[in-house]
Amino acid sequence: MTALGRQAGAVRDVRDVAVLGSQTALSRPIGRALAATGLEVQSGGLQTGADTATTRGAPSVVVLISSLRMPAGSVRAAWSRIADSRSRRDAVSAVELARRSGATTLIAVSSVFAATQQVHSGRTKSSPLPESGAALAIEAAADRFAHLGGESIILRLGWPYGANDPITSRLIDAAAKGWQLLDGPPEAIIPTVAVADAATAVTSALRAAPAGCYDVTDDTPHTQGELAAALQTGTGRRLHPLYDSRWGNGPLFGRSWVADNARFKQSTRWQPRWPDAAPHLAALCRIHPSGSRALSRGRVSSQRRWTSR
């Protein structure tokens, strides 16, 4: 990876920021969090957004957002690889244009699952998750931005779960029917971060993080088994394994992933509002339409069994 620019931490004097990338569950929360700090926020896709930003006047900061792709079968996976290649080209072009127009800082919202720190049988393997192709694309753009003399900050998020996250919704929908889609090894550790906390991490990085690459996760690592138990608690349903062809040919998150938020917290004083994903995920089940219906059915069923005795 290219050296990412300024290494000494200092508070940045920023007035405006462009948030670029496809619309994801992270886009609006990040935009709102930045606007809440008093910044003027422009937004758009990688192509139209970059052009708009430079037409209005070059922002000093560009935020590139990626997201985990939904798992896919072999045919969709092939098309996804083509889309990832296009995303990489568009992301690099966008940051080149932004840098030429005067942007000084880039924040790339990437993913822990784009890293090489996957653990299997006690050994670390070089095997980014296939669904992290968009994250790999913006990390390439961050390298290019730094090569052009800009300052790049890469934030590798754990699984950004939340009410509007497609993966979270799919998991809760399945759990409400009694099915468990977290189908990897129960002992595998899955780094997580709430979407709202990911958004505040971006503002914290903008304010104080030195250039570099950081893991952004909550404070309580959980195994797939523990997260599945949280889904079971939240929906009130006993979960059973299910092979769903829409998830592709392997487990969603694979084996354990190594992530450590200590360096980011020390650099920025960022603290997650939700430090533990398990109770938060269970609470999301209760307010999600599918999860709340399942919980209501479970209560009615229990009452009927009690009164029939």
Distance CA 256, CA 212 (A): 24
Phi, psi of 124 (to 5 degrees): -85, 130
Mean pLDDT per block of 10 residues along the chain (309 residues) reads: 47 81 88 93 70 62 83 51 75 91 93 68 53 82 95 95 92 91 84 97 95 96 94 91 56 77 96 97 89 51 32
Q: Find tokens 């980011």 and name the residue.
A: 264
CB atoms within 10 A of CB 256: 22
Predicted local distance difference test score (pLDDT) of residue 172? 93
Helix (H) or strand (E) holding 156: strand 151-157
CB 267 within 8 A of CB 151: no
Pick the CATH number of 16-162+193-219+257-274 from 3.30.1490.190, 3.40.718.10, 3.40.50.720, 2.40.30.10: 3.40.50.720
Which candidate, 115, 80, 129, places its Cα nearest to that of 254?
129
| pLDDT in the model for residue 198 | 97
259: helix, strand or coil: coil
β-bridge pairing 105-111 and 61-65: parallel
- pTM score: 0.83
Asked if 72 and 248 count as a contact pair (C-beta separation under 8 A), the reply is: yes
The first and second tokens of residue 131, run together, are: 């669904």
Which residue type occupies 236?
A: G
